[in-house]
Structure 1
Amino acid sequence: MLAISGVLNVTMGLILVVLFHLDVSGVAAATVIANIVSSMILLYRLTHMDAVIRVDLHELGVDLLTLRQILRIGLPAGVQSAVFAVANIIIQAAINSLGTVVMATSSVAFNIEIIACYVLNSFGQACATFTGQNYGARQIRRCRRVLGVCILEDFIATAATIAVVLFFGRGLLALFDATPEVISVGYTGLVMVFSAYTFSMLYEVMSGYLRGFGISLVPALLTVVGVVGVRITWIGRVFPLHRTFEAIMIVYPISLAATAMFIGVALLRYRPSKRFAAKPFTASSRTD
């Protein structure tokens, strides 16, 4: 469904922009259409599959206890993701102050960075899912294995993705803007951001591991401190003294290293695999 949505998005975008000259509104309309089509196909599949996972629309309802558990884990996880957007707005404001070339470079580089970012984040999500499943099945030893496997696989997949992106980086940047200055500055930005991905990988997987045990608020709060706190402080105190693109981008590895360290300390502090190993599993066990 994602593949269909992606192809439809690009195709409709070209049709609406090139043939109907709708510009930005055409791109937006193509995205909405692609999402609607893929959602409808998914809904059809869910309502027509076998009895094990089939969705009956007539039986949909809200269980308040389940809703409370979902919100307890989901809201902090959502805040944890949202703080990156807040921090990036602050960084983007600093980048914009350096002029149009740097601003264009940042926009172009972001479209390439996101490729590796999606690969990296997927293992953190997988870690939360498999940890939660094994915790629910009282297979605590497997939870520890999930953490190790996800870190190893995430490192390999992310490293491979970064290597490919950096190898073709200048060519990819040229697809968006062939200006030599934009390509040079953009490639420098890619290298600096990717240097932070080792810390980001550890942070995402460890956070997912804690969320799998229902510990969601702690990593969210530590992310606010490590990401938003460090970046605001850096942009407010250090950047005014060194107004360069490199001075801005170095905050990525610094902030993510701090966040990974905070999450690592929390993991050692909570030791959820031992904390919950001797406890019987109940709904109240999944708490911060």
Structure 2
Amino acid sequence: MRSRNMLEGPLLGNIIGYTIPIILTGFLQLLFNAADLIIVGRYCGEISVAAVGNCGSISMLIVNLFIGLSVGTTVAVAHSIGAGSPEAVSHTVHTAVPTAIVSGIIVAIVGVFGNKTFLTMMGTPDTVLPLSSIYMKIYFMGMPFIMLYNFCASILRATGDTKTPLFLLSMSGVINVGLNVIFVTQFDMNVAGVALATTISQGISAILVVLALMKRNDACKLTLSKMRFYKPQLMRIIRVGLPAGIQSSLFSISNVLIQSSINSFGDIVMSGNAAAANIDGFLYVILNGFHQTALNFISQNAGARQYQRVRKILTICLGCVCVLGISVSAVVYFAGPTLLSFYIPDSAEAIGWGMVRLTFLCIPYFLCGMMDVSTGALRGMGASVAPMIISVLGVCGIRVGWIATIFQMQGFHTPECLYASYSVSWVLTFLCQMFAFFLIYRKQAKAAAES
């Protein structure tokens, strides 16, 4: 697949062409979980839907710390490409792959042996706990594959190639859906079947993306015998990726607290929340695609010291998330009852609670996109600690504080009150991120002009 040139040419068309495969890839990844929820909802009931949905926030809490390192890989590769250093690119690639494998093994061990403890700490109802535990255990067994795919895909995207990850994930996605149907309907495996199908399909996508890197003819070509931990590249990956991972994990802590609060309202509210969360997840990947685009385009152009293009990239990405976020949110909201019925066809009450979540989160979702783009822009400039601190205080701090104070007040102990905390945190975090971006931008642009 041809890599896209991020350093030259018109930006709008280049950005949109780069982003569309990322969005489609995100859709396919969500379809893994959507297929799980839809199939268990139709064949196993609302308790199984709640069991699978309940695992999302706690899984991300464990996984995101290491997934953040793939962000460090993206920035390290893109900066080295922009700076014209093929040796640094090669060393980063051959450091990133073993880092992915080790990270996956660590996460697998934590998830397999600690899942019941985490689920119990979340206040998972006894009716849901056994099935959630089974799903998590099998899902985490495939974590080395998930990590390997994410790290390798981040390398490809840093080169400008977003089509290869889409093509490979399409192949494994078809396999995932097929195995879901077979394991659940033919072998009556319930949530264990959908977890096993996801693990197998992720394994296939990981193998395919590694083969894709091995077939390249540039500095990103992967040679298994060259894999080792090159210290300068490992330190650079950690410097950018660890704060990103910590930020994502702390985001997940706030989501775990919200999920725990949702759990207190019973399995019907849990089921509606899980289905709606999967639906607004599709909206998220549309907007998050521009976060990844901003990260990669700005990384390469900052590495090449083309700061005028950096500002244009940020402006275009923010404009795109506003236009797409508002228009797509409206479509999703009005189609909400129909979409929710695919997940939970046997519970009108659960569908009603799903619509409550869509009302509070779907319509203002463009604000989340703007926040994510500004975070990607900061990381693309090489900043790592600033976006972490701002996001932790702006998102986690507000949501945790909201749960500890407003949510505890009489008359406000409702799902609606919980969901309202999202929009507040998005707006405040975006404003702070943009302030930090322009401070760093001015400093780097001035240094480049004086050198």
- Whether 1:202 aligns to 2:398 is no
- Length-normalised TM-score, structure 2: 0.59
The residue identity in structure 1 corresponding to 2:294 is: C
Change in CA separation of 1:112 and 1:26 when aligned onto 2, cut-off 3 Å: same
Q: Matches of residues 142-157 of structure 1 in structure 2 within 5 Å?
A: 142-157=309-324
Contact 1:76 1:217 in 2 (8 A): yes
Task: Quote the Cα distance in structure 2 between the aligned partners of 1:26 and 1:150.
Answer: 39
- Length-normalised TM-score, structure 1: 0.91
Contact 1:196 1:252 in 2 (8 A): no
Could you tell me which runs of 5 or more consecutive residues in structure 1 were left unpaired when the two chains were aligned. 282-288
Choose from 250, 268, 271 the match for 1:83.
Answer: 250
3-state DSSP class of the match of 2:445? coil
Q: What residue is the counterpart of 2:14 in the other structure?
A: none
**May I ask how many residue pairs the two structures share in their alignment?**
279
Task: Quote the Cα distance in structure 2 between the aligned partners of 1:163 and 1:230.
Answer: 26
Segment of structure 1 superposing worse, 141-150 or 159-168: 159-168
Contact 2:268 2:350 in 1 (8 A): yes
Task: Quote the Cα distance in structure 2 between the aligned partners of 1:60 and 1:110.
Answer: 39
- 1:165-202: CA deviations, max 9, x gaps? 22321101011123222222211211211234232112
The residue identity in structure 2 corresponding to 1:180 is: A
Choose from 226, 232, 251 the match for 2:421.
Answer: 251
Q: Once the 2 structures are TM-superposed, how far is the Cα of residue 207 of structure 1 from its aligned partner?
A: 0.9
Task: Quote the Cα distance in structure 2 between the aligned partners of 1:28 and 1:83.
Answer: 25
Q: Matches of residues 108-123 of structure 1 in structure 2 within 5 Å?
A: 108-123=275-290
3-state DSSP class of the match of 2:302? helix
Task: Quote the Cα distance in structure 2 between the aligned partners of 1:98 and 1:39.
Answer: 38
Segment of structure 1 superposing worse, 68-77 or 241-250: 241-250
Choose from 183, 204, 209 the match for 1:42.
Answer: 209
Change in CA separation of 1:4 and 1:163 when aligned onto 2, cut-off 3 Å: farther
Task: Quote the Cα distance in structure 2 between the aligned partners of 1:227 and 1:53.
Answer: 35
- State the identity as a percent: 33
Choose from 386, 400, 404 the match for 1:218.
Answer: 386
The residue identity in structure 1 corresponding to 2:312 is: R
Root mean square deviation, CA, Å: 1.8
Change in CA separation of 1:109 and 1:258 when aligned onto 2, cut-off 3 Å: same
Task: Quote the Cα distance in structure 2 between the aligned partners of 1:249 and 1:52.
Answer: 46
Segment of structure 1 superposing worse, 123-132 or 259-268: 259-268
The residue identity in structure 2 corresponding to 1:163 is: A
3-state DSSP class of the match of 2:247? helix
Q: What residue is the counterpart of 1:5 in the other structure?
A: 172
Runs of 4+ in 1 over 4 A off after TM superposition: none
Q: What residue is the counterpart of 2:237 in the other structure?
A: 70
Q: What residue is the counterpart of 1:181 in the other structure?
A: 349
Task: Quote the Cα distance in structure 2 between the aligned partners of 1:161 and 1:196.
Answer: 11
Q: Once the 2 structures are TM-superposed, how far is the Cα of residue 274 of structure 1 from its aligned partner?
A: 2.1
Could you tell me which runs of 5 or more consecutive residues in structure 2 were left unpaired when the two chains were aligned. 1-167
Contact 2:332 2:362 in 1 (8 A): no
- Whether 1:240 aligns to 2:408 is yes
The residue identity in structure 2 corresponding to 1:258 is: L
Q: What residue is the counterpart of 2:433 in the other structure?
A: 263
